[in-house]
């Protein structure tokens, strides 16, 4: 009898174990399915900081079993993008009846979490917030309005009893999202109010923001909001460090990289900072070595090496790359045709506002130096389809000097050889076709005329 009971107990134990394993296995994944009514999307995409999942849409329906859980994804369907967060045991159905965020609804196990995230997303969407009006407010009113928006989201959040992991994560996300919007005020307020002299008060940022750990590897890997925030903070440090020396930078201007302990972030910052690797740097080699040593991205390091080798060919005294482009009058003009005079080259486009901002100063400079041994050439990198727009602007603005249209926009030989990544760009070539400055001062810069006159005098006295 004792044996029989023991045997029965063991059988029940095995049965319970099977049942427990079965239940446990079921909870190890989430089911996500849905309908995209009336839309022609072929895929539903889930994007996180560490992976991307593409779910095929067949006849307007999709379904997938997700095992990468308890982290944020951005759900993207066509132009709609909203945050989602899946947990074990979720069985969720999405219905999308149109192309906007307001046409999304969720049902099934876990729907309260996704509906809350949808509420949060809507609360900060263009449909709900007039961002121009928000960022145009004075500092105290802006902060008060922003805090009111977040209070509404927090109240919605507190209606539910979410898991401790999600609750902790979401609380952190809201903090980072708040900090990001505070930071946005710094640039958007002067833009919308046309007040370039605007300055923040010392008390604008809360104490918690001031004490923020900018080297939190875990949060960088987990939260997009944190990754965006610390990237912006590091770039702000960099811009402040170079504002007095730009464009004559040396390796010490990139010292901010030494403070970054998050490898992925450092690699991102090196890539962005490499934009400032230029022949205008007073120690171009030192800047290159600083950037190359700071990155662990082998592919980018190779790209950086290629760029540096190209820039070495653009140092003062090197023979300038050539051009032969169509002029506004229909004939073709080459750089070699201009030998005997210095050539001040403006690379621009009709769509480039900073380029257009230089037009008055360029016209004035050309007029004041019309009797000097220098010619002014403007090369448009507009697309071929915009050639008529270019012609009309040249005529409307009464642009002076030689007006040329590059044969293949940014892919034109001259543009590629000068490693031009952004415009406006100004270049000075001497009367023999040699480079004087591959990154010359802009017409609007203080002392540009004196600089050009000085280079002309050097040639005369040589």
Q: Do domains 30-110 and 324-461 have the same CATH topology?
A: no
Q: Average of pLDDT values for 131-149?
A: 96
Predicted confidence (pLDDT) at residue 213 exceeds the cutoff of 50: yes
pLDDT digits (tens, 9 = 90+) for 385-433: 999 999 999 999 999 899 999 999 999 999 999 999 899 999 999 999 9
Q: Could you give the CA distance from residue 214 to residue 238 in angstroms, rounded to a whole number?
A: 14
First and final C-alpha spacing in the chain = 116
What CATH code is assigned to 30-110? 2.60.40
**Confidence band (pLDDT; 50, 70, 90) for 14?**
very low
pLDDT given at position 405: 98
Token pair recorded at residue 168: 């902790």
| pLDDT, position 18 | 39
Nearest to 287 by CA among 264, 311, 259, 319: 311
What are 40's two structure tokens?
A: 């022609």
Q: What does the pLDDT read at residue 36? A: 83
Could you tell me the two tokens for 51?
Answer: 């992976």
pLDDT tens figures, 312-337: 999 999 999 999 999 999 999 999 99
Place of tokens 């280079």: 455
CA distances to 185, 186, 229 from 141, rounded to whole Å, are 12, 14, 23
Identify the bridge partners of residue 437 per DSSP, sorted by sequence position: 428
What are the pLDDT digits (tens) for 355-395? 999 999 999 999 999 999 999 999 999 999 999 999 999 99
Mean pLDDT value across residues 242-261: 91
Of the pLDDT bands very low, low, confident and very high (cuts 50, 70, 90), residue 462 is low
CA 111 to chain centre: 33
Angle formed at CA 456 by CA 452 and CA 459, multiple of 5 degrees: 145
Q: How far is CA 105 from CA 80, 97, 108, 256, 367, in A?
A: 13, 9, 11, 45, 64
pLDDT, position 8? 36
Of 71, 44, 40, nearest to 55 by C-alpha is 44
Cis before residue 97, ω within 30 degrees of 0?
no
Domain 324-461 in CATH 3.40.30.10? The answer is: yes
pLDDT band at 222 (very low <50, low <70, confident <90, very high): very high
Q: Model confidence over 150-188: pLDDT tens digits? A: 999 999 999 999 999 999 999 999 999 999 999 999 999
Question: For the chain, which residues make up each domain, given as ranges?
Answer: 30-110, 131-212, 221-312, 324-461
Which tokens hold the place of 300?
Answer: 């980018």
Residue-level pLDDT at 98: 74
Residue 15: per-residue pLDDT: 36
Per-residue pLDDT at 10 = 39
pLDDT number for residue 244: 85
- d(Cα 148, Cα 40) in Å, to the nearest integer? 38
**Torsion of Cα atoms, 413 then 418 then 423 then 428, to 10°:** -120
Q: Which pTM value belongs to this model?
A: 0.81
How far is residue 393's CA from residue 296's CA, in Å, rounded to a whole number?
46
Helix (H, G, I), strand (E, B) or coil at 449: helix
CA 277, CA 424: separation in Å to the nearest integer? 16
């Amino acid at each position: 009898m004792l044996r029989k009971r023991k045997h029965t107990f063991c059988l029940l134990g095995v049965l319970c174990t099977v049942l427990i394993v079965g239940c446990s296995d079921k909870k190890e994944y989430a089911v996500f399915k849905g309908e995209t009514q009336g839309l022609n999307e072929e895929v539903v995409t889930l994007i996180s900081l560490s992976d991307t999942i593409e779910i095929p849409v067949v006849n307007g329906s999709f379904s997938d079993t997700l095992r990468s859980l308890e982290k944020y994804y951005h759900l993207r369907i066509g132009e709609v993008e909203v945050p989602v967060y899946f947990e074990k045991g979720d069985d969720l159905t999405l219905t999308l009846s149109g192309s906007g965020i307001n046409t999304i609804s969720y049902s099934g196990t876990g729907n309260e979490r996704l509906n809350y995230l949808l509420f949060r997303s809507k609360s900060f969407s263009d449909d709900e917030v007039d961002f121009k009006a928000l960022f145009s407010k004075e500092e105290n009113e802006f902060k008060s309005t922003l805090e009111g928006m977040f209070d509404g989201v927090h109240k919605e959040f507190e209606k539910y009893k979410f898991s401790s992991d999600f609750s902790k994560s979401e609380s952190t996300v809201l903090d980072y999202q708040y900090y990001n919007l505070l930071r946005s005020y710094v640039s958007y307020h002067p833009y919308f109010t046309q007040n370039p002299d605007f300055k923040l008060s010392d008390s604008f940022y809360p104490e918690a923001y001031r004490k923020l750990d900018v080297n939190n590897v875990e949060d960088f890997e987990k939260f997009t909001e944190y990754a965006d925030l610390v990237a912006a903070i590091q770039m702000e440090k960099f811009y402040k460090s170079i504002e007095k020396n730009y464009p004559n930078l040396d390796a010490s201007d990139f010292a901010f990289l030494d403070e970054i302990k998050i490898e992925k972030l450092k690699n991102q910052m090196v890539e962005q900072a490499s934009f400032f690797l230029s022949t205008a740097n007073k120690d171009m080699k030192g800047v290159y070595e600083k950037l190359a040593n700071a990155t662990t991205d082998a592919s980018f390091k190779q790209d950086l090496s290629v760029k540096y080798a190209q820039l070495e060919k653009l140092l003062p005294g090197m023979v300038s790359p050539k051009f032969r482009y169509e002029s506004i009058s229909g004939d073709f003009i080459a750089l070699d045709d201009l030998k005997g005079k210095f050539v001040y080259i403006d690379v621009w486009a009709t769509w480039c506002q900073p380029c257009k901002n230089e037009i008055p100063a360029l016209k004035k400079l050309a007029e004041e130096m019309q009797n000097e041994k220098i010619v002014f050439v403007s090369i448009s990198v507009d697309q071929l389809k915009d050639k008529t727009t270019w012609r009309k602007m040249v005529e409307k603005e009464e642009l002076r000097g030689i007006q040329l249209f590059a044969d293949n926009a940014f892919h034109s030989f001259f543009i590629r050889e000068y490693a031009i990544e952004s415009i406006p760009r100004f270049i000075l070539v001497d009367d023999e076709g040699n480079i004087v400055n591959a990154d010359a001062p802009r017409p609007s810069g203080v002392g540009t005329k004196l600089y050009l006159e000085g280079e002309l005098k050097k040639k005369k006295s040589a």
